[in-house]
Structure 1
Amino acid sequence: MSDQAQALRNLIKNKSTEQTRNTRIITVTSGKGGVGKSNFTLNFALALQKKGFKVLVFDADIGLANIDVLMGMSPKYNLYHLLKKEKTIWEIIQTGYNDLQFIAGGSGFNDLIRLTEEQLDYFEKQISQLNGHVDFILFDTGAGLSKETLKFILAAQETIVVTTPEPTSITDAYAIIKMVHSMDYHTPFRLVVNRVTDLREGRQTADKISMVAKQFLQLDIPTIGYVMDDSSVSKAVKKQVPFTIAFPSSDASKSIGELADNFIANQVPSETQAGAVKGFLNKMLKMLK
């Protein structure tokens, strides 16, 4: 009887947590391709889950959607099936490593601009159900300054910009921040420097972007952290297993864990957080019309 009572208490506790959970919408982007953005998004999500948070990854990279590839999976359904009203939001959610939930985008986002009012209404009602379902929704967007990527950045509560120490990556990361700022949107940016040889290189790279943003845009761009350049990452990609799972003791995995700690410790409360998904959709659909 005591075991049954405890199980009931746990169920009630979990239900209570589900009802009061605030979902935060985060866009992950980069100024250029090839910086490891999707790999970062996947392993960052897994690190957040390891720390007790519930996360859903939304693969919003229209041309090169590959979150599923990094996990060696072939999703049966994606966003397209939702937009065509063939499946519900719950039916297109897939489960990957460590029960990480994700939604494959496929060509679905291209179809958003061609939806009828009835289809848009269905889409909004379905996606709205995610509010309170998870703590974080991470949108892995396409790299660069595409129209689709900009819409996600402008609609999200905050954006993580992934860069590397390469000069072209630094320049392009700053360019995407400058572009959004020029549109008079007050999107909070945070920076991640990937593939650094040491912390000194990571700090120098982040300082270059933050100092220029402060001087010319009057923007403060905090840095969440740095991810070490590590051969384990490419090995994990070839195995189609997230590197934090395949090589949990690697330098890159340790970096992701520290970065997740810093991200959580420096979360900025949002007045609209309780209705984050609804707010995101309102902004997104407004830009589509």
Structure 2
Amino acid sequence: MNDQAQALRKLVQSQQSGRTTRIITVTSGKGGVGKSNFTLNFALSLQAKGYKVLVFDADIGLANIDVLMGVSPKYNLYHLLKKEKTIWEIVQKGPGELEFIAGGSGFQDLIRLSEEELDYFSEQIGQLNGYADFLIFDTGAGLSKETLKFILAAQETIVVTTPEPTSITDAYAIIKMVHAMEYNVKFQLVVNRVTDPNEGKHTANKISLVAKQFLQLDIPTLGYVSDDPLVSKAVKKQVPFSVAFPNCPASKDLQELVNRFDHGLPAPEPEQQSGVKGFLSRMIRLMK
């Protein structure tokens, strides 16, 4: 009964907030670039600025947001798709009361939903409309069918890369492939594990210049994050580095990055195009 009452309060809260939830996907061209770690600490830094954030772990087979937080979620997307739990019952909490939804094996089932199951999924996810300022999807590395759907439906994607040549090449390949599908996706770059700001700027410029020359796309750079040994130490402790070491170089870089992101927030789009409702309508079209 208490769970039902709490779910009802959350539903009323989301409907009365008047906010438009901004949907963001975070992806990378290859694994091992620190994408999930960035997503988690980016979300925590946004929350520290007063925003309400919900993280959705959409990395099929390699979902690890919960591991990075040292949390064992009781429920995940699978329980929602099987109608065993409601959307509010699968929302879990991590450090700093950050709310997240664990993907588990649920995303593999997501692309095989029947019409009735898809309707239920949409109705449940739709309840998140207005609940948070940001709904951030941590997608899988590379351009799988599932990752592609989230990128196209969200229409706003942060691409995480590193200065390694293969990482740069794969990051550009994702941008090029999505652009070829003629969807209006807004990309921003984050260069992780840089030795200094000049390396970050040089890496970002490589991608931006090629995208401008061959795709006629402007790809802004959101920021750079230092190659900081304390990040690895935090991972081993299963504590987000921005929490474990708030004054380390990587945490300071992230704070600057989030400030830049915050100052660049655009005016809300018309309701039918933005928020959870717009995301769902695009996602459903992509699934059919």
Q: Return the alpha-carbon distance in structure 1 between the equivalents of residues 14 and 65 of structure 2.
A: 31
The 5-angstrom pairing of residues 259-274 of structure 1 reads 259-272=257-270
SS at match of 1:162: strand
Q: Give the structure 1 partner of residue 5 of structure 2.
A: none
Q: How far is the alpha carbon of 1:26 from its aligned partner?
A: 0.2
Q: Matches of 1:282 and 1:236 in 2, distance apart? A: 38
Distance apart, 1:286 and its partner CA: 1.3
Residue in structure 1 matched with residue 58 of structure 2 by the alignment: 60
Task: Select 1:247's aligned residue among 245, 255, 258.
Answer: 245
Name the residue aligned to 1:36: 34
CA shift for structure 1 position 21: 1.4
Q: Which position in structure 2 is the counterpart of 1:282?
A: 281
Distance 1:146 1:119 in 2: 22
Once the 2 structures are TM-superposed, how far is the Cα of residue 273 of structure 1 from its aligned partner? 5.1
1:243-262 Cα deviation digits (max 9, x unpaired): 00000010000011110000
Query: Which of 100, 103, 113 is the aligned partner of 1:102?
Result: 100
Distance between the aligned counterparts of 1:78 and 1:207, measured in 2?
39
Partners of 1:24 and 1:273 within 8 A in 2: no
Q: TM-score, normalised by structure 1?
A: 0.93
Q: CA contact under 8 A between 1:24 and 1:157: conserved in structure 2?
A: no
After superposition, give the CA deviation of every residue in 1:98-156 in whole Å (9 maximum; x if it has no partner).
11000000110111122222211111010001111000000000000111111100000
User: In 2 relative to 1, CA 26–273 (structure 1 residues): closer, same or farther, beyond 3 Å?
Assistant: farther
Does the CA-based 8 Å contact 2:158-2:188 persist in structure 1?
yes
**Equivalent residues in 2 for 1:152-191, closer than 5 Å:** 152-191=150-189
Q: How far apart, CA to CA, are the structure 1 residues paired with 2:269 and 2:54? A: 22
Equivalent position SS for 1:94: strand
Q: Distance in 2 between matches of 1:86 and 1:63?
A: 21
Q: Could you tell me which amino acid in structure 1 is paired with residue 91 of structure 2?
A: I
**In the TM superposition, what is the alpha-carbon distance from 1:157 to its structure 2 partner?**
3.1
On the 8 A contact 1:244/1:253 being kept in 2, the answer is yes
SS at match of 1:20: coil
Alignment of 1:93-172 (within 5 A): 93-172=91-170
Q: Which runs of 5+ in 1 are unaligned?
A: 1-14
1:74-93 paired onto structure 2 within 5 Å: 74-93=72-91
Cα distance in 1, alignment partners of residues 142 and 61 from structure 2: 12
Measured in 2, the distance between the counterparts of 1:270 and 1:186 equals 16
Deviation (angstroms), 1:63? 1.5
Distance 1:102 1:191 in 2: 23
Distance in 1, Cα, partners of 2:172 & 2:131: 33
Cα deviation digits, residues 166-200 of structure 1 (max 9, x gap): 00000000000000000111100000000001000
Cα displacement (A) at 1:56: 0.4
SS in 1 for 2:275: helix
User: 2-side partners of 1:270 and 1:173: how far apart?
Assistant: 28
Contact 2:20 2:268 in 1 (8 A): no
Partner Cα separation in structure 2 for residue 16 and residue 237 of structure 1: 33
- Using a 3 Å threshold, how does the CA distance of structure 1 residues 219 and 267 change in structure 2: closer, same or farther? same
Rounded Cα–Cα distance in structure 2 between residues aligned with 1:192 and 1:125: 33
Count of residues in correspondence between the two structures: 276
Counterpart for residue 8 of structure 2: none
TM-score, scaled relative to structure 2: 0.93
1:52 maps to amino acid: G
Contact 2:77/2:107, CA 8 A, preserved across alignment = yes
Counterpart secondary structure, 2:243: helix
Q: Give 1:17 deviation, angstroms.
A: 10
Post-superposition offset of 1:270? 4.1
Give 1:19's aligned amino acid: S
Mean CA deviation greater in 141-150 or 109-118: 109-118
Q: 1:188 to 1:230 in 2, by over 3 A?
A: same
